[in-house]
Structure 1
Amino acid sequence: MLAVVGLFLVGLAAAEATVAAQNRSHTDALLGKAGPLRVQAQELLNALLDQETAVRGYAVSGDRADLAPYDTGVRQEQERLTSMRRLAADYVEITADLDQVEAQAAQWRRAVAVPVITAVEQNGTAAGQELINDQGRAQFDQIRTTMTQLEGEILTARQDTARHVERTGNLLVVLLVIAALVVAVAGGLLLIALERMVIRPLTGLAGQVREVAEGDYQHRIHGSGPPEFQQLADDVDAMRRKIAKDLDEVREARERIEWVNTQLQKQAEELVRSNRDLEQFAYVASHDLQEPLRKVASFCQLLQRRYAGQLDERADQYIAFAVDGAQRMQRLINDLLAFSRIGRLTTGFTEVDLNRVMGEVAGQTEAARQYVDAELTWSELPTIRGEEPLLTNLLVNLVSNSVKFRRPDVPPKVHVSARLVDDEWEITCRDNGIGIEPEFADKIFVIFQRLHSKDAYPGTGIGLAIVKKIVEYHGGRVWVDTDTAEGTAIRFTLPALPEDVEAARAAAERAEQDGDPATEDTGPDGDAQADRTGGAGDAPADHPADHTERTDLPAQPGPDADGQRPDGAGTGRPGGTKETVR
């Protein structure tokens, strides 16, 4: 039905287009040809009358000025004849009348007008008046008759064109009415067909789907109507069966989850009890275990000092082993306690200036750096949210490790820098030490994991595990940059403050607009970072952002990553130090 209606409407549209083109053509002829022809015919008649009147006046007065209308009329006659021939190209009768008017006017001028003008010029007005007779008037009357016939032809052509316009307009209206009727009838038939073939089957299918949606998943869905709707009903019923199967599985999974939740609840209760036991153990380790351990260590040291050299060599060696073991046990217990307290005993996050933290780090590691002539520098560091004691411990461990794992006969150099990456600060601690092989990059963060013997590099192997736990407690991550050509570069991230992120984005937009390249390492203000002092004090006023602390001392054993001297002695600063601030 749609195809038939469409073809019929296409035919009507083609007919309407043809009739509309004809109507426009007839309208153009009426307005652009017949109308102007009628006006120009009157102007042509006026031009001929002006010629005849001017000749009569000149024959009476003999004044040459009276011939001006004659000359103007001749010129206007030629212009109107030319224009009317162009407009009357499609009208044969009008063209023939124009040719007859032109011939009669030329004949009248040769027989009457020109002789009268010549006679007046040569013999005076009386001779001219004699030539104006009934024969001349008869010739001009013939011109009038022809002009009347021409106007009649023009009027007839105009009326015929108007009838054509009216006929094509009426035909166009009839075609439009027929098209509207066809559309209305086809629309009505289409609605009836849609109601019977589409709406009724679809409504029935929707009702069955609603029954299933309300919870009756066992209701089988039947389709009716066109094959497509029946196929749709089969697909929906297949989906119903799958949903029912999935619901059964979900019901079984829910029962299993409830059982698992019960077990997790029991495990959580066990974990709470275990945590209480661990806290009790930590208390015992920090108080009860430390006391007998200190007693053992003290008495072993007394034995070592009092009886050194009095017993045999093996006895002295045994006593030294006992002293060393007691001291290492104390360090292990203290490190375990420190590791367990991270994230459990909290003072709350505050805004921490890492530049101030680095000043504290420089002070705490000063003695270790003096022993090995180490140099500590840092770039402009940001302000982040965190716990200042933990962040200080983090950086102290990193700097101490860089100082401890140095190359022989090479003064250690440690540099701490920061750059903003997306919404995190990436902080790097770089040194010129022995470096880390890529295959061990992940193992160094495991608690008590050591890559060297305690004789080569002292320590308990817990320093970097503490670093990892502090970083993760602050919402960051830590890793070893294995692409470093020399030494070690340990990088970790900390969340940036929103205002630092916005400032960096604004600076990047300004740099992009100005065409400036972005810097590799930018501080909180987005500009290139400058080195800061490695000491605990403030920088000199004339160099507020570029300082390096260096202590020139004889190379001596320094503290390990846990802040302990290998020999267990204190960390007092010896005399004879030299500080140079660059």
Structure 2
Amino acid sequence: MRPVVGGWSLRRRVITLLTVVGFLLIGLASAEAAMAARNRTQIDAVLNETGPLRVQSQELLNALLDQETAIRGYAVSGDQDDLNPYQEGLAQEQSVIASMRTLLDDYPAISQELRTVEERVTQWRRSVAEPVIATTEQSGTAAGQALVTEAARQQFDDVRSAVNDLQAEVLAAREQTATNVRTSSNVLVVLLIVAALVVVVAGTVLLLSLDRMVVRPLTGLANQVREVAEGDYQHRIATVGPPEFIRLGEDVDAMRQKIAADLAEVRAARERIEWVNSQLQKQAEELTRSNRDLEQFAYVASHDLQEPLRKVASFCQLLQRRYAGQLDERADQYIAFAVDGAQRMQRLINDLLAFSRIGRLTTGFVEVDLNKVMGDVAGQTEAARQYADAELTWDELPVISGEEPLLTNLLANLVSNSIKFRRPDVPSKVHVSARLVGAEWEITCQDNGIGIEPEFADKIFVIFQRLHSKDAYPGTGIGLAIVKKIVEYHGGRVWVDTDVPEGTAIRFTLPALPQDVAAAAAVESGEEPNAPTVGDTTPSTEAPAALTEQADGPDQPDRTDETLESGRTGDMRETVG
């Protein structure tokens, strides 16, 4: 068991310090928030209450002066137009007083001064303005002027004095509010300074504590580990500091001991691995050389066998033509067997030669339109389609990067294979389609033929692998092996889809051009693509016709091959060479 280490842990110390600092900062933040709210309220009072009150008090004085001036003018002229400023001033007075009352809830002194102004204005209007107006209308201007006395002027001076007192009270309230704003702002600044000091002090304490409790112990531990890393595996690691660091030092020392104990075994294992790697390297080089020699052997063997095989086939055919009917029936049968065997051997050699050439004799990749390739395939298979009363159709196919002759061979093999393994009582239909899956085109050749059992789905791509006898379906059994090699040469993969309800669907993938992938991504993201994406679009069809000759030829004899499993001929198919 690990010994118990006493003292406060580093976590506990840091959490305690951060908790104290957190409480202090929360308290300061609360005080600052309250003070900031109070400061905003006081600023609002200056901007939205005392400031407008000061302006409105001046507007009130101007309205009263307009009224007093209008009364004097009317008493002199007796013209009713001279009373318009009086009426307008009276309306402005009432509007200003009503507006001021909405701002006086927090200012009782100003409200009291406003009531004093209203009382004196009412008294002046009752004792001076209204009598002057009435007297002038009834008795003329002389009588009206007689009422504008020094006492009347003194009475209006009292009104003006009351307005001045109101303005002085508003100014005093404004100054007091501004003083409060400055005071609260200073308090807020002090609180911010205190908070900054708390952060600085806490940071300093934390920094010093980390230096003493973390940096120094870690530096000492790192120096000791460095000594071990330099090769001194017997150096014992001892650590001081918080309990966590002491336990860490013990763990590191235990690891050092384990490393020292395993080092000899690691060195021995490294030596064994280096020896195995050298053997694997030699085997890889030998395998590469063997594959190259094997491929060269297949090419040379098939090429060199052509001449003697042609002689055998030619002379066997001469015997068959010249002596047919002259010998007994058994001799004619033997000659027929020899001719058939020579012809099948020639087809096997040609197919093997074609298989070995895939990837060896290359013309380079170019952009190939598979629609044009399907047109060539339709032309190549026209005679055979007429013979089998078969229908070949295809959707709009993409443009891909590859070798056109190989791709033509690939699709011709698939189409020929589909027609070859047709059901006797059902017209054959072959359809080729394509769809974009990620960065690859998935191309499908589907027919309504005899189908393939799932257990044989992988075997049909093996070279010379047959699922039927040559009497049931002719061929060499290399066609789908060629298909697989062409697809893999182009960077794709091929498989049989066993989930189709009828017939067979052979699917293979080919890398898509970057512009097709970009166009599909643009369609998925809702953008307008630069070019349309090719997929399962409106199909273009070739008129129903029979498939032409297959790679082996439907009427050519084949060599005798045994089926993989006896008794299963109605639902299995072979590859076509």
- Per the normalisation by structure 2, the TM-score is 0.67
Indicate the SS of the match to 2:201.
Answer: helix
| Structure 1: gaps spanning 5 or more residues | 523-527, 533-546, 552-557, 569-582
Q: What corresponds to 1:530 in structure 2?
A: 540
Among residues 12, 28, 32, which one is paired with 1:12 in the alignment? 28
Q: Give me the whole-angstrom Cα distance separating, in 1, the residues matched to 2:450 and 2:238.
A: 78
Residue 562, structure 1, aligned to residue 552, structure 2: yes
Indicate the SS of the match to 1:349.
Answer: coil
Q: Which has the higher contact order (CA 8 A, sep 6+)?
A: 2
Q: Give me the whole-angstrom Cα distance separating, in 2, the residues matched to 1:46 and 1:300.
A: 136
Task: Compute the displacement of 1:179 (Å).
Answer: 3.6
Q: What corresponds to 2:565 in structure 1?
A: none
Indicate the SS of the match to 1:259.
Answer: helix
Q: Give me the whole-angstrom Cα distance separating, in 1, the residues matched to 2:312 and 2:70.
A: 154
Flag the 1:303–1:51 CA change in 2: closer, same or farther, 3 A. Answer: closer
Flag the 1:401–1:521 CA change in 2: closer, same or farther, 3 A. Answer: same
Indicate the SS of the match to 2:552.
Answer: coil
Indicate the SS of the match to 1:346.
Answer: coil
Q: Which amino acid aligns with 2:462?
A: V
Q: Which amino acid aligns with 1:473?
A: Y
The answer (yes or no) to whether the contact 1:445–1:465 under 8 Å persists in 2 is yes
Q: What corresponds to 1:442 in structure 2?
A: 458
Q: What corresponds to 2:11 in structure 1?
A: none
C-alpha offsets along residues 325-381 of structure 1, whole Å, 9 cap, x if unaligned?
8537734862674366234752443546767766776777677667x4554746476
Indicate the SS of the match to 2:434.
Answer: strand
Flag the 1:320–1:6 CA change in 2: closer, same or farther, 3 A. Answer: same
Residue 323, structure 1, aligned to residue 338, structure 2: yes
C-alpha offsets along residues 421-468 of structure 1, whole Å, 9 cap, x if unaligned?
345555555555444333333323333333233333344434433443
Q: What corresponds to 2:470 in structure 1?
A: 454
Between 383-392 and 198-207, report the one with greater CA deviation: 383-392
Q: Give me the whole-angstrom Cα distance separating, in 2, the residues matched to 1:125 and 1:242.
A: 125
Q: Which amino acid aligns with 1:334?
A: I
Among residues 328, 332, 338, which one is paired with 2:353 in the alignment? 338
Residue 480, structure 1, aligned to residue 489, structure 2: no
Flag the 1:30–1:531 CA change in 2: closer, same or farther, 3 A. Answer: closer
The 5 Å alignment of 1:190-269 reads 190-207=206-223, 223-230=239-246, 254-267=270-283
Q: Which amino acid aligns with 1:464?
A: L
Flag the 1:407–1:564 CA change in 2: closer, same or farther, 3 A. Answer: closer
Task: Compute the displacement of 1:195 (Å).
Answer: 2.7
The answer (yes or no) to whether the contact 1:357–1:391 under 8 Å persists in 2 is yes
Task: Tell me the matched-pair count.
Answer: 535
The answer (yes or no) to whether the contact 2:298–2:352 under 8 Å persists in 1 is no
Q: What corresponds to 1:417 in structure 2?
A: 432
Q: Give me the whole-angstrom Cα distance separating, in 1, the residues matched to 2:549 and 2:65.
A: 133
Q: Which amino acid aligns with 1:327?
A: A
The answer (yes or no) to whether the contact 2:389–2:544 under 8 Å persists in 1 is no
Over the matched positions of the two proteins, sequence identity in percent amounts to: 57
C-alpha offsets along residues 247-291 of structure 1, whole Å, 9 cap, x if unaligned?
888755654443334334544565536864785687567547974
The answer (yes or no) to whether the contact 1:300–1:319 under 8 Å persists in 2 is no
C-alpha offsets along residues 506-554 of structure 1, whole Å, 9 cap, x if unaligned?
996899969xx988645xxxxx44335xxxxxxxxxxxxxx56559xxx
The answer (yes or no) to whether the contact 1:304–1:316 under 8 Å persists in 2 is no
The answer (yes or no) to whether the contact 2:355–2:482 under 8 Å persists in 1 is no
Q: Give me the whole-angstrom Cα distance separating, in 2, the residues matched to 1:511 and 1:95.
A: 68
Q: Give me the whole-angstrom Cα distance separating, in 2, the residues matched to 1:110 and 1:507.
A: 87
Q: Which amino acid aligns with 2:552?
A: D
Q: Give me the whole-angstrom Cα distance separating, in 2, the residues matched to 1:510 and 1:4.
A: 53
The answer (yes or no) to whether the contact 1:29–1:161 under 8 Å persists in 2 is yes
Task: Compute the displacement of 1:176 (Å).
Answer: 3.9
The answer (yes or no) to whether the contact 1:355–1:381 under 8 Å persists in 2 is yes
Q: Which amino acid aligns with 2:432?
A: S
Flag the 1:564–1:265 CA change in 2: closer, same or farther, 3 A. Answer: farther
Q: Give me the whole-angstrom Cα distance separating, in 1, the residues matched to 2:91 and 2:346.
A: 129
- Per the normalisation by structure 1, the TM-score is 0.66
Among residues 184, 188, 198, which one is paired with 2:204 in the alignment? 188
Q: Give me the whole-angstrom Cα distance separating, in 2, the residues matched to 1:462 and 1:318.
A: 28
C-alpha offsets along residues 37-61 of structure 1, whole Å, 9 cap, x if unaligned?
66666776677777778778877x5
Q: Give me the whole-angstrom Cα distance separating, in 1, the residues matched to 2:425 and 2:148.
A: 144
Alpha-carbon RMSD across the aligned residues, in angstroms, is 5.6
Q: Give me the whole-angstrom Cα distance separating, in 1, the residues matched to 2:133 and 2:317.
A: 162
Q: What corresponds to 2:364 in structure 1?
A: 349
Indicate the SS of the match to 1:189.
Answer: helix
Q: Which amino acid aligns with 2:461?
A: F
Task: Compute the displacement of 1:13 (Å).
Answer: 3.6
The 5 Å alignment of 1:60-139 reads 63=78, 87-100=103-116, 102-104=118-120, 106-107=122-123
Q: Give me the whole-angstrom Cα distance separating, in 2, the residues matched to 1:120 and 1:364.
A: 126
Between 285-294 and 199-208, report the one with greater CA deviation: 285-294
Task: Compute the displacement of 1:243 (Å).
Answer: 8.1
Flag the 1:510–1:94 CA change in 2: closer, same or farther, 3 A. Answer: closer
Between 324-333 and 259-268, report the one with greater CA deviation: 324-333
Indicate the SS of the match to 2:495.
Answer: strand
